[in-house]
Structure 1
């Protein structure tokens, strides 16, 4: 009987002491914190049967939220005591504490303490972020990035080479680039073009007898090489043509504004005719003056020259005033064609045209012609007036 009572007391003591032993784990004690006794988990209730799925009701559109007024900062609320039973809260001012060491955990190194400076490899952090020197970043170079242009540091190195013509030849085969440039020139400006311009086609009202005059030219070719046909002349009604000429010229561009011309000139009309070898120039001078000059060598060995020019002064987009001048010269006296040496004659004209279109522009104006020197003497001997003033009406055509 005594043995039976002793065994029952030992079993009861063991059952009462086992929960406290199970709640204690080595190294888990937190300073200032008392762990409450664990409770047994509640028995799980039997799972309820899920009802049949229902079709969801249509969703109502959400109402637009009204803007929330800006809250006024409120006074700090009093501190709340959130301590749990059996738990001691630390003081407001934290003090250096040593974290408990778990079994098997190595002791912390001095660098991992709060007072140690956290330094990364290759990076030097100053002690206070307010003292950071942002200018020190100007010399920083990213890997694979080369400094160019204004980012280069100051120095006395020579300046880089300026860009050259055909810059793409530095990266692509020069022969291929030259072939592509020539093809582009042919497609953009190397095609064959033509034009016919009748600069003067006018009726001249003179004292004593009325007359007419023409001056035109045509060309066919490209931007560099062209064939020019020129013709000019004048005459009087009921008396026929006084003088006329036709020129066939080869023209080659020598720069963007001037052309070199060479060819043949043939005189027509009454009196002895001449054939000339011709060489000259034609182009656009500064300030938009159209100028031209020619030298002629006849089949008789005579040398003549001509200078001419005009300027289109635009009054409006359609109204154009054109002053015009022409000088003819001779290197010797030629009585057979009634020309003296020096300046043989000069023509000064002023014409006002209205461009209905670029291709059709009627004009009116005045023209003054004067023979000089020995040529004027030949005119007086033939019973002609060496000076003539004409009122002109004509049209300028372009095809």
Structure 2
């Protein structure tokens, strides 16, 4: 586990380009608190997951982060999902979204998503709903509409259980659905894949928390068939170690 943590810190530089992209978007506007304004311009960067996963010796480095810039009711969001293996980027997804508050704790988001990796790349229009459901479940759902009649639906749910003021257990679930087969990327129609994780973090400060955990993922339907033909596992369980931070 210590070796995994050292590798996470070593590979953090590999994701510096993506992190700097998020920071660059927000760097033009620092939080404004003065001047007596009721609705100041604010910004926030959140690194939800920067982690190393134990997968058959390949140990991929995964970054999931998001950032926003705006005011209370309207914001510009940037979301990034990156996976690197052996110094090469295997997955790269970026979203640029306009967010409008439509109810307490709920935002409607519209914008664009670009999947640069794996190839061939895919572009999507995005309509999403993000917020806090009853019993404090964090929900991020989105409908994606792509070229050639492609459609996709993603649902992410996360919950935080406070064991102490600093020790937090966080289960999460993600499911992806697609409207049609995409044989070039090994994606099947219907329920394509499900990913579930359980992470235990210790908040050294509220803004910085190392964590350990376990991540499980499985492909279904035609996606599973494509994976088998390519010689990939349909189901995998991974130990993870990483860092969560925001500023």
TM-score (norm 1): 0.52
Question: Which shows bigger deviation, 251-260 or 330-339?
Answer: 330-339
In the TM superposition, structure 1's runs of 4+ consecutive aligned residues that sit over 3 Å from their partners are 186-189
CA-CA distance at 1:189 after TM superposition: 4.3
Structure 1: any 5+ residue segments left out of the alignment? 1-185
Match of residue 188, structure 2, among 317, 334, 340:
340
Match of residue 175, structure 2, among 327, 349, 367:
327
Aligned to 2:55: 206
Contact 1:346 1:370 in 2 (8 A): yes
Aligned to 1:268: 116
Which SS does the other structure have where 2:148 is aligned? Answer: coil
Structure 2: any 5+ residue segments left out of the alignment? 1-34
Aligned to 2:103: 255
Contact 1:214 1:232 in 2 (8 A): yes
Aligned to 1:230: 79
Match of residue 391, structure 1, among 234, 239, 243:
239
Aligned to 1:47: none
CA-CA distance at 1:233 after TM superposition: 2.4
Contact 1:353 1:363 in 2 (8 A): yes
CA-CA distance at 1:209 after TM superposition: 2.4
Distance 1:270 1:223 in 2: 36
Aligned to 2:210: 362
Distance 1:189 1:216 in 2: 28
Aligned to 2:201: 353
Contact 2:92 2:118 in 1 (8 A): no
Contact 1:189 1:222 in 2 (8 A): no
Distance 1:205 1:189 in 2: 47
Contact 1:293 1:307 in 2 (8 A): yes
Aligned to 2:40: 191
Distance 1:370 1:346 in 2: 6
Which SS does the other structure have where 1:385 is aligned? Answer: coil
Distance 1:380 1:397 in 2: 37
- Cα RMSD of the aligned pairs, angstroms, is 1.4
CA change 1:205–1:333 in 2 (3 A) is same
CA-CA distance at 1:235 after TM superposition: 3.4
Distance 2:178 2:118 in 1: 20
Which structure has the bigger radius of gyration? Answer: 1
Contact 2:97 2:110 in 1 (8 A): yes
Distance 1:332 1:271 in 2: 18
CA change 1:383–1:208 in 2 (3 A) is farther
TM-score (norm 2): 0.83
Which SS does the other structure have where 1:336 is aligned? Answer: coil
Structure with larger RCO (C-alpha < 8 A, sep 6+):
2
CA-CA distance at 1:269 after TM superposition: 1.6
CA-CA distance at 1:256 after TM superposition: 1.3
CA-CA distance at 1:336 after TM superposition: 1.8
What does the per-residue CA deviation read over 1:219-240, in whole Å, with 9 as the maximum and x for residues that have no partner? Answer: 01010000000011223225x2
